[in-house]
């Protein structure tokens, strides 16, 4: 082990000791939470009164094994720092969520997705093992495979949102990444044609003879949508830069046929971050004059998130609506997964009922080589990841929409309608934002029985919040 690796491992061990000491300092009758000032969650919550655990020493990459194509990573390390450590080796995580400040531990316990998910699944599927601080205050190691003392925790950890424990260290797989990505943006005037093309690419890995390594899409309207096809390449040449005046999602649009582009691998991974997909428009960051003076270091999702939290804190948006004689707004910030054969049906319903555009599309399949169990799952078997029970061998499409609509007659009216439609189409909704399910429906959708068994084993005194309480109930 090199001196640098030894130093990193020593620093990590010290960070773990501080974390454990902070847990022991919390009174036995008190709830436990992480001491975090920021979050990529979008749930409205009252100020937490639980004591915070010290995670200050758990924010780094511990080591990268270029030969084995693995990395040991502290749980609170951001993907921005993780990618910075792996790209010099020509490697990257199998799935890199779109926003720089998402942490590896957060993506595993709260799910994540990106344009490699049609071939690499979700972030938790590339985890080989992880050290978890449980609600009972124990540090356990859970590993991939059907056996092992803590196999139940390994399987239930994805979508548990820190209610079973916190990932302290994760060993993940990496994949080779050439220095450039060649982009082909294909326009469709019919959503069913787009979905059919997406389905074909997922099955074959190519489009009209072009190898596709990355796949996502954008719907601007019922009659204008695009698939964004990325192909890894080592061929040098000019590249675009969407951290300056140009806006990435606007570069996708064109009259008909295809449009081609090139990015460095680094800039491709973070192509959505500079404008928070398209949400920076709400702060004026896409206006040409404002963009010229907007500091590049603040042209990133974490800063827009800070602005959003300030807006929510002081109720600025609703105050402006009232001043103009309009009703307040309901926040509809959601990602849902629907089976690909129902995707066009959902998009038709959404465009007719929810006034939000653009919409992001990202196909996904659970990995063919298995994750927790290492083998294909029969169609009638219990879900491999019980708290988010997608079926192996089935293609889903993540549909992302992030904006506001006028409030309805009841709290969360539009969000509730989305939930009902997604359930009717045999889909699932991510839990990073507001949810309104009744307890029985929530348990049926998110593995309630399996969750309770693991919760009882690893957090018997309920030191951590219950998943339903955290995802749905107001505090």
Each residue's pLDDT tens digit, 393-412:
999 999 999 999 999 999 99
**Assigned token pair, 116:** 């490699």
450-460 pLDDT tens trace: 999 999 999 99
Long-range contacts, 255-260 (Cβ 8 Å, 24+): 255/187, 256/187, 257/186, 257/187, 258/184, 258/185, 258/186, 258/187, 259/184, 259/185, 259/187, 260/182, 260/183, 260/184, 260/185
- What pLDDT is recorded for position 323? 83
Buried b (16+ CB within 10 A) or exposed e, 221-260: eeebbbbbbbbbbeeeeeebebbeeebbbebbeeeeebbe
Whether residue 380 is predicted with pLDDT greater than 80 in this model: the reply is: no
pLDDT digits (tens, 9 = 90+) for 228-243: 999 999 999 999 999 9
User: Residue 202 pLDDT more than 80?
Assistant: yes
Instruction: Give the pLDDT band of residue 374 (cuts 50, 70, 90).
Output: very low
47 confidence band (pLDDT: 50, 70, 90): low
- Which domains are seen in the chain, by residue range? 3-177 (3.30.465.10)
pLDDT in tens, 227-283: 999 999 999 999 999 999 999 999 999 998 899 999 999 999 999 999 999 999 999
> Mean pLDDT for the chain?
92
pLDDT beyond 90 at 160 = yes
Residue with the two structure tokens 């702060």: 283
Q: Which of 98-102, 194-198, 315-319, 438-442 has the lowest mean pLDDT?
A: 315-319
Select from 425, 399, 427, 393 the least CA-distant residue to 203. 393
pTM of the model: 0.94
pLDDT at 475 over 60: no
For the chain, the three-class secondary structure string (H helix, E strand, C coil) is: CCHHHHHHHHHHHHHHHHHHHHHHCCCCCCCEEECCCCCCCCCCCCCCCCEEECCCCCCCEEEEECCCCEEEEECCCEHHHHHHHHHHHCEEECCCCCCCCCEHHHHHHHCCCCCCHHHHCCHHHHEEEEEEEECCCCEEEEECCCCCCCHHHHHHCCCCCCCCEEEEEEEEEEEECCCEEEEEEEEECCHHHHHHHHHHHHHHCEECCEECCEEEEEEEECCEEEEEEEEEECCCCCCCCCCCCCCHHHHHCCCCCEEEEEEEHHHHHCCCHHHCCCHHHHHCCCCHHHHHHCCHHHCCHHHHHHHHHHHHHHCHHHHHHHHCCCCCEEEEEEEEEEEHHHHHHHHHHHHHHCCCCCEEEEEECCCCCCCCCCCCCCCCCCCCCCCCCCCCCCCEEEEEEEEEEECCCCCCHHHHHHHHHHHHCCCEECCCCCCCCCHHHHHHHCCHHHHHHHHHHHCCCCCCCCHHHHHCCCC
- As a whole number of angstroms, the distance between CA 237 and CA 183 comes to 13
**Weakest mean pLDDT among 45-49, 386-390, 406-410, 465-469:** 45-49
Mean pLDDT of 69-74: 98
For residue 219, list its beta bridge partners.
225, 359
Mean pLDDT of 142-149: 85
- The span from the CA of 93 to the CA of 188, in Å, is 31
């Amino acid at each position: 082990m090199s001196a640098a690796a030894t130093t990193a491992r020593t620093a990590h061990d010290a960070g773990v000791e501080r974390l454990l000491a902070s847990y022991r300092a919390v009174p036995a009758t008190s709830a436990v939470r992480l001491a975090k000032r920021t979050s990529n969650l979008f749930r409205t919550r009252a100020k937490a009164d639980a004591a915070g655990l010290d995670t200050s020493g758990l924010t780094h990459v511990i080591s990268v094994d270029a030969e084995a194509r693995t990395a040991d990573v502290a749980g609170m390390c951001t993907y921005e720092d993780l990618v910075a450590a792996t790209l010099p080796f020509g490697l990257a995580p199998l799935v890199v969520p779109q926003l720089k400040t998402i942490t590896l531990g957060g993506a595993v316990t709260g799910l994540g997705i990106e344009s490699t998910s049609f071939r690499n699944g979700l972030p938790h599927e590339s985890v080989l093992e992880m050290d978890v601080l449980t609600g009972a205050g124990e540090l356990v190691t859970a590993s991939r495979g059907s056996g092992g003392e803590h196999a139940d925790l390994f399987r239930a950890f994805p979508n548990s949102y820190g209610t079973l424990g916190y990932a302290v260290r994760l060993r993940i797989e990496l994949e080779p990444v050439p220095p450039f990505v060649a982009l082909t943006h294909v326009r469709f005037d019919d959503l069913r044609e787009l979905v059919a093309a997406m389905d074909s690419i997922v099955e074959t890995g190519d489009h009209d003879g072009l190898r596709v390594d990355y796949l996502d899409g954008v719907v601007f309207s019922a009659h204008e949508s695009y698939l964004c096809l990325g192909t890894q390449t080592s061929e040098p040449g000019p590249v675009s830069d969407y951290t300056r005046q140009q806006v990435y999602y606007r570069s996708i649009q064109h009259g008909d046929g295809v449009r081609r582009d090139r990015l460095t691998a680094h800039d491709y991974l973070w192509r959505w971050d500079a404008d928070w997909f398209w949400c920076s428009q709400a702060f004026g960051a896409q206006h040409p004059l404002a963009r010229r003076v907007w500091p590049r270091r603040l042209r990133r999702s974490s800063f827009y998130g800070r602005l959003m939290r300030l807006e929510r804190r002081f109720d600025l948006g609703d105050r402006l609506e009232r001043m103009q004689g309009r009703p307040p707004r309901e926040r509809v910030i959601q990602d849902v997964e629907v089976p690909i054969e129902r995707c066009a049906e959902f998009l038709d319903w959404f465009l007719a009922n929810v006034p939000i555009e653009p919409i992001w599309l990202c196909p996904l399949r659970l990995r063919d080589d298995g994750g927790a169990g290492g083998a294909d799952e029969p169609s009638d078997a219990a879900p491999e990841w019980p708290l988010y029970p997608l079926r192996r061998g089935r293609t889903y499409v993540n549909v992302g929409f992030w904006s506001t609509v006028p409030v309805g007659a009841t709290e969360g009216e539009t969000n509730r309608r989305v939930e009902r439609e997604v359930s009717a189409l045999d889909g699932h909704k991510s839990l990073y934002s507001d949810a309104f399910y009744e307890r029985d429906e929530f348990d049926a959708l998110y593995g309630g029985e399996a969750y309770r068994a693991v919760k009882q084993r690893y957090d018997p005194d309920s030191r951590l919040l219950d998943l339903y309480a955290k995802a749905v109930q107001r505090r």
